[in-house]
Amino acid sequence: MYRHGGVVRTRITVRHMAKKLVIKVTAGADAPERCSQAFTVAAVAAASGVEVSLWLTGESSWFAVPGKAAGFELPHAAPLPDLIASVQSAGRITLCTQCAARREITEADLIEGVRIAGAQVFLSEIMEDGVQALVY
């Protein structure tokens, strides 16, 4: 609250929705609930019109390879292949460079549309104005 010309006024700050959401997934089949939550949030954001950048790191790296997501099951969760398709329809999926190298995953092994990039690209994405970053 502040005074202006003898009148008490209230200052309201409106928080705008992030223009872009960057999600880093560190879990895969080793932590299925955390993994599914990350993909679900990414897919819902994409369906809501938010620009999404989903980064696959650690054990989630395997989901950049065709067929791997089909083997992921979690009761009461949307199928991972469907969530990946939703993200790809309105966003981008990136596989961490070092994570790919540790698993001997190359560009030739990837689902169409997935790229490999490193920490510099991740950092440049999360430092942009209007970006919200989440790590699962």
Domains of the chain: 21-135 (3.40.1260.10)
Is the pLDDT confidence value at 90 over 50?
yes
For the record, the structure tokens of 116 come out as 């490999």
The whole-model pTM stands at 0.85
State mean pLDDT over 70-94.
Answer: 96
At residue 125 the predicted structure's pLDDT band, cuts being 50, 70 and 90, is very high
CA distance 55 to 93: 6
- CA dist 46 and 106 (Å) reads 26
Identify the bridge partners of residue 91 per DSSP, sorted by sequence position: 52
Stated length of the chain: 136
Q: How confident is the model at residue 19 (pLDDT cuts 50, 70, 90)?
A: confident
